[in-house]
Amino acid sequence: DSGVTQTPKHLITATGQRVTLRCSPRSGDLSVYWYQQSLDQGLQFLIQYYNGEERAKGNILERFSAQQFPDLHSELNLSSLELGDSALYFCASSVMDRGGYEQYFGPGTRLTVT
């Protein structure tokens, strides 16, 4: 158990809908990351937050947004969902925001868009 929690574990929704994925980092970790894992794209970095502020951004679609709250939990919002958004979404956390700190991953949320 990494100490990172993610809810829900599974999510099935229809195209055009909006969903929110939730993540709680390990105790003491200030930085939160979101990654998408799909068969065609592999594991891709979406976005990083550090202590409530956006820190780095990857190839995150404009339909996706995220935030980190004062209690350090984070939410990833996915809207106008398409079939291609079906994937495993991981949250990770680390102590600091810069390169070199190992990231601990949550169990993931499997999103299925039908």
Partner 1 sequence: AQKVTQAQTEISVVEKEDVTLDCVYETRDTTYYLFWYKQPPSGELVFLIRRNSFDEQNEISGRYSWNFQKSTSSFNFTITASQVVDSAVYFCALSEAYKAAGNKLTFGGGTRVLVKP
Identify residues 61-100 at the interface with partner 1 (CB under 8 A).
88, 90, 92, 94, 96-100
| Contact with partner 1 (CB under 8 A) among 43, 63, 84, 114 | 43
- Amino acid residing at 97: D
- Candidates 21-29, 47-55, 67-75, 76-84 — which segment interacts with partner 1 by CB under 8 A? 47-55
Task: Give Cα separations from 14 to 3, 40, 54, 88, 114 (angstroms).
Answer: 31, 21, 29, 16, 5
What is the rounded distance in angstroms from the CA atom of residue 14 to the CA atom of residue 28?
36
Identify residues 1-20 at the interface with partner 1 (CB under 8 A).
2
The H or E element containing residue 114 is none
Contact flag: residue 109 with partner 1 (CB under 8 A):
no
| Contact with partner 1 (CB under 8 A) among 63, 101, 112, 114 | 101
